[in-house]
Amino acid sequence: MSHTPNVGTSTRSLHADDVLNVVSDVAPPMHLSTTFRYSDDPSALIPAADLNSSDIDPTNHIYSRASCPNPTRFETILSALLNGKAISYSSGLSALHAALTLLNPRRISVGEGYHGCHGVIALFTRLTGLQKLDLDCSPDQLEKGDLILLETPLNPKGTAFDIAAYAEKAHSRGAYLIVDSTFAPPGLQDPFLFGADLVMHSGSKYFGGHSDLLCGVLATQRDDWASQLFQDRVFLGSVMGNMESWLGVRSLRTLEVRVQRQCQNTARLVAWLHAALHAPTPAPASDEDAVQAVLQEVFHASVQETEGDWLAKQMPNGFGPVFSITMKEERLARELPGRLSFFQHATSLGGVETLIEWRTLSDKSVDRRLLRVSVGLENWEDLRDDLVRAFRGLAGL
């Protein structure tokens, strides 16, 4: 695709890996081998010590811990979508582990966010003495080489942070900014445009999109970091499997259209919930009355209060397909998922099916009244009507 660098997101998803087509199959084949033959041509055999980056052929593989066809295709497409060199991992937490190994900071500034990231940070604290600071710590607490880890939109609420502001804060102290953009995949947000040094994704979510693969991704615009990350991964061993990579390529083909529909559904659901919750003097036994009887608050970037226009600039095409609600009582949060027909009660997010999770089942740090919703591809009116029935049942209407 070097001759068409300005094509759209879906075109990149479908054609960025054309250069890797070495067979006539339209759908990429799955390669299960971990070991690949060397060339029969003696002149093509280059000792490892003599190799340089210009000698690397992305269609030539030796051993799958270093590279193999399906992960290479997956990374090639992601590199085109993320506007940086993409490196894949066995999980999102493996990607964070690799980032911390690369940068080896003495301090990391981080907010609440995903509890698993705090677990990885705790491992590094035990091994290296890594100090954890609040996300909104004073810039004076950061020094050269330190790190800000910014998750936006935020798990589990779906609210957003100003990437440019945190990039300025980090860079003013010689620190780096990692943006976990899992909740806003390509097409919704490009953290590099606002100063991110590394971009991280749990690819299990929207890159996978079908609740059937586990992976993580880092992207960088620095060639030296990309080279080091690839070298480190060989010894960390946290590579994606062939099946997962093949599924990932399949899923990236439809990334833009899936996320567009999911965002549209979410915007409509959140707008309806927010309007119903704040409707003045609702009529007795109305839908709005049922909502107000059981619902306390709705969280999403589309309804958060912000100063300035940074959010519209940062997410011009939609505010992400995840939002959260808090119920008026813990009992209501516990009971709601079991009353829904089209919301599957499960953890994770990003799949084609709509999920709801009583979040305290997997994250002990959250309000026990909170439920996280990952909106899928169903007709949004059916999701709305499903919620109305459940709210009415909980309210006794």
- Identify the CATH number of the domain defined by range 256-395: 3.90.1150.10
Cα separation, 270 vs 327, whole angstroms: 15
Residue range 73-118, pLDDT digits in tens = 999 999 999 999 999 999 999 999 999 999 999 999 999 989 999 9
Give the distance between the most distant pair of CA atoms in the chain.
84
pLDDT classification of 6: cutoffs 50, 70, 90: confident
List C-alpha distances in Å: 114 to 4, 154, 242, 311, 363.
37, 8, 27, 21, 9
Say what the alpha-carbon torsion angle 82, 94, 243, 75 is, to the nearest 10 degrees: 20
What mean pLDDT comes out for the span 224-229? 97
In CATH, what class is 9-253?
A: alpha beta
Sign of CA dihedral 17, 208, 190, 11: positive
By the 10 Å C-beta count (0-12 exposed, 13-18 middle, 19+ buried), 200 is classed as buried
What mean pLDDT comes out for the span 216-227? 97
| Residue 24 confidence (pLDDT) | 85
Which residues does 50 contact at the CB level (< 8 Å), separation at least 6?
none
| Residue 91 confidence (pLDDT) | 97
Tell whether the model's pLDDT for residue 3 goes beyond 60: no
Residue range 172-201, pLDDT digits in tens = 999 999 999 999 999 999 999 999 999 999
- Per the CB < 8 A criterion, the answer to whether 206 and 255 are in contact is yes
| Residue 62 confidence (pLDDT) | 86
- Per the CB < 8 A criterion, the answer to whether 287 and 317 are in contact is no
Q: Where are the domains of the chain?
A: 9-253, 256-395
Looking at every residue in the chain, the average pLDDT score rounds to 95
